[in-house]
Structure 1
Amino acid sequence: MSTTPRRRGRRTLRSAATLTAVVVSMSSLAACGSGGSSDSAGSGPVTITFWGWAKGTQDVVNAFNASHPDVHVDYQQIPSGIAGGYAKLSDAAKAGNAPDVFNVEYAALPDFVSQGAVQDITKLVTPDLKAKYLPQVFQLTTLGQRNWGLPLDAAPQALFYRKDLFDKAGITAPPKTWDEYRADAEKLRNAIPDTRIGTFFPDDPSPLEAMSWQAGAHWFTGVGDTWSVDIGGAETKRVTDYWQQLISDDLVRVQPSFSQQWTASLQKGETAAYLGAAWGGGVLKSTLAGTPDAAGKWAVAPIPTWDAQPASGMLGGTTFAVSKNSKKAKAAVEFATWATTTPEGIKARIASGVSSVFPAAQDLVPGAKAAFNTDFYGGQDIYSVFIDAAKSIKSDWQWGPAMSVTNSAMADVFGKLGQGGTVQQGIDAAQQGTVAAMKNRGLKVAAQ
């Protein structure tokens, strides 16, 4: 990648209105309507079904049901999306028995829209409601100037690191640039031979996607009625070359995400940092809850950038979407609105003090910050890091309509790292597989 990124990102925003033709035309969403008018009006409460998997969701449902006599939510916990939840949802949509509302990550939402599994809720999203959400995040729920979901959280990137291990290696401050990150990786390995600065997750392409986003890549762009697909562009190549070198030089570990291997390496001090997102604050705290003396050793810093200027992609994040067959869209959106924009909804989700959710509705951030116990981070105000990172999320990223194929192609190759496979080969496989899948779905594609 050159040091001067291509400045074509704003085209994504300008061309957003065209994406209805690109994504929606190949589905039968027109028959789904925009919801609201078909909610039943019986003598008792309207009952809606909801599928999700995030921690704290049952508490959210309980709190909603206790305070809303006219709508009752029947919740079913399913596996996380990549662990089988998306397959279950897709099968249910095809069979016509999907829940009224379900959780889906930003990256997977266009895929569900293209399948015709999600209902257009534009008429139920008022300007006042839209204004509550961080614009860069709400944009990810919008295709063709139509709304397909409500954002729960933002997931700006962050660096979690062990202060004591950095000190031992003579690292006086967390790295601000990717060059400094590599230099610190060398210092750590030299000072503590069994310790590495971080991990490349072969089973989860999302960190690489977030870093490509941060670097200025544009994997998918809607132009007219055509998708431009450029997964292997120069910005991404800069990222893949960088991580391939870290792996080849044995400066980072290659371990499955959130696996026993990864957890054990954190517990033993063999991994000194974690490139995650805002939600990672709670995940790391929970993962190491039973580790002696872990509390107080960890800190949070902005993620390194190429030029030391603040910049972030998003690593994960979740929406509430209404299924195509739901006849209770108005009630479903009422529940989703309450869960994502009210202090009561966020308070119920983080009541345990473990979740570090960063609400997409910005007025709720102070409440989330107050509810999260930061003793594990030595009392550090970690939400101040997340707040600044959220402001730096690049606003010109678009997810594609076949991300399940994109991710599978990458993970298949990443799983062979060290056995002849390379990070760049994973990107190349994703480009080829994604273009083929999109064409097979009847979408117009211009591959770069």
Structure 2
Amino acid sequence: MRTFTLGMQHVLAMFAGAILVPILLSQALNLTSEQTAYLIAIDLFTCGVATILQSWKTKYSGIGLPAVLGASVVAAGPMIAIGGEYGMTAIYGSILVSGLIVVLFAKYLSHVIHFFPPVVTGTVITLIGLTLLPVGINNMAGGAGSDSFGDLDNVLLGLGVLALILILQSFFKGPLRSLSILIGLIAGTIFVAARGTINFSEVAEASWVSMPQPFYFGMPTFEIGAIIPMLIVTLIILFESTGVFLALGKVCDEKVEAADLERGYRAEGIAFLVGGLFNGFAYNTFAQNVGLVQLSRVKTVTVTFTAGFILIALGLTPKIAALIKLIPPPALGAAMVVLFGMVAVSGIRMLTQVDLDDNKNVLVISVALGLGLGTTIVPELFAQMPEQISFLFHDGIITGSLAAIGLHLLNVTKEVFSHRFQEQVSFKRSLQLTLEENNKHA
């Protein structure tokens, strides 16, 4: 019973962050009620499978530490952009390709991640958080396009849920603090239900058990304009997970070696493949659960195995997904504002590691954020670009990411050539001095 309770605690800690991603994607792409319920259910199911894969240490995959995986909010923006441009099937084609590359090349990806230092990852994660914040604000007002958009009742409910989350975060510790977003969502839903404005008929009609359906949205399609941004996001997700792996190792008194990282990356790659197969999401190891391991001092993977099986059970129960779907948009918006704001802050925290006295770093950050946010605000900026390359500029997150990566690589290339040039000059000068000295002796 104690193991089950601790496993449920892990599920509750990651639950809000996990369910917000499918709801966000569903709203942005105007999916049907049935499709939304499927996305929520399959997300929970795949979170459970991914958690078990990461906790189970084998020769080829699994970090073997008490890790919990969930849908990556970092991938939400690019997935929405891909879905809007190419359709749902292209989202899952790009996830499958990314997962396959991670599985096959996990051993070498730690070297590729060196091209994503804090100046790049911090900028991109900050950009993702800032770009997604308007979605949360729209939901607080009742949801973009809704008849009640901006009604005082919606705004007050959103602000009330936001205030509750802030109070729990500021004045409480332990479980109440770590579950603040989930508590806020539940409180907002109960408040609206008490007023009799929630229709529970869909919950009553939903079945108790269902099985995942491969390629629910259709056979995957493979668009280069979808694959490239998803690969970039995948590398950023792996960079984030690396930090979580190292933190987990420290908490559990386990030294994380290169081989452990390789297995951890491969487990996340397999999670991507499962997500692509059943039309779930891109998954990463959740940082909030590291704090729970430290708080509970229970460092055994038995607990996260239990959490994984609980998530699978929840994902196989459509009534749970139908119930989650009833969360009112204003409450959801308040949670999104907190969550996406925290994403932006985590990016800013990474940028504090960057030497901002170096003008090259400042230019990378300013240009990438400028182009990324600019493209988000004025999407027509690159409308006349040739069709062959326009896919690189149809989304602010992609544009900003490519700018950050490109400028960083340019700086690295310049430094390499400058270093080699200085070596050549030094060698020639040394050779000249040697010849002059020989001539004197001659």
Normalized against structure 2, the TM-score is what? 0.27
Higher relative contact order (CA 8 A, sep 6+): 2
Higher helix share: 2
Compare CA radii of gyration and give the structure with the larger one: 2
Normalized against structure 1, the TM-score is what? 0.27
